[in-house]
Structure 1
Amino acid sequence: MLIQTEVGRAEVVAKQLAGLPGVLSAEYVTGPYDVVARIGANTMAELHDGVAAQVQQVTGITRTLTCPIADGAAP
C-alpha cells in the first residue's frame, strides 16, 4: 500500500501502522509517497474491508493506493 501523509507525519504514521493487525511492515520513504506498507489478508474482501479500511483511519493519512501483488507463478 502506498500512502501519502500530512507534511511531517510520515515517520509517526509508519510507526502507528506497524502495530495494526494485517500490517506486515511499514516504512517511511522519500518520493511521491511518504509511507510504503506491506499488508496481508486471507481474501481480497478481508484485505479491502478489514486491513485497508483500518489503515485509512490512521490520523495523518491523506491518500492511499492499494497495489495487490500479482503472483506470476505458473501452475
Structure 2
Amino acid sequence: MVQAYILVQTEVERSGEVTERIRGIEGVEKASDVTGPYDVIVQAEAEDIDALGALVVARIQRLDGIARTLTCPIINI
C-alpha cells in the first residue's frame, strides 16, 4: 500500500464544499480544511503508486472548484 498527503488549493470560498466531496472518494482516509497556502489536506491510500496517481488525477483534480494539487507520498523507512 502507498499512502500520501495531497495538498489542495481551491477556488475562493470553495474549500468547504470541495472538502466534503473529497471525503466521499474511495481511497481518501481523511480530508481537513486548513489555513495557509493550501486550503485542504487529504490523507489517501492506494494499492500502488500508479493507483495513487489515478486517484489524484482522475478523481480529485477533476472536482469542480480545485485550482491545484500537490501530492506528497509518505515514506516509511
User: What's the TM-score once normalised by structure 1's chain length?
Assistant: 0.91
Structure 2 unaligned spans of 5+: 1-5
Offset of residue 16 of structure 1: 0.5
Q: Give the structure with the higher percent strand.
A: 2
Partner of 1:55: 60
Q: Which structure has the higher relative contact order (CA within 8 Å, separation 6+)?
A: 2
Q: Could you say what the CA RMSD is over the residues aligned between the two structures, in angstroms?
A: 0.6
Query: Which amino acid in structure 2 is aligned with residue 8 of structure 1?
Result: E
Structure 1 unaligned spans of 5+: none
Runs of 4+ displaced beyond 3 Å:
none
Larger radius of gyration: 1
Partner of 1:30: 35
Query: Which amino acid in structure 1 is aligned with residue 56 of structure 2?
Result: A
Partner of 2:11: 6
Aligned residues: 71
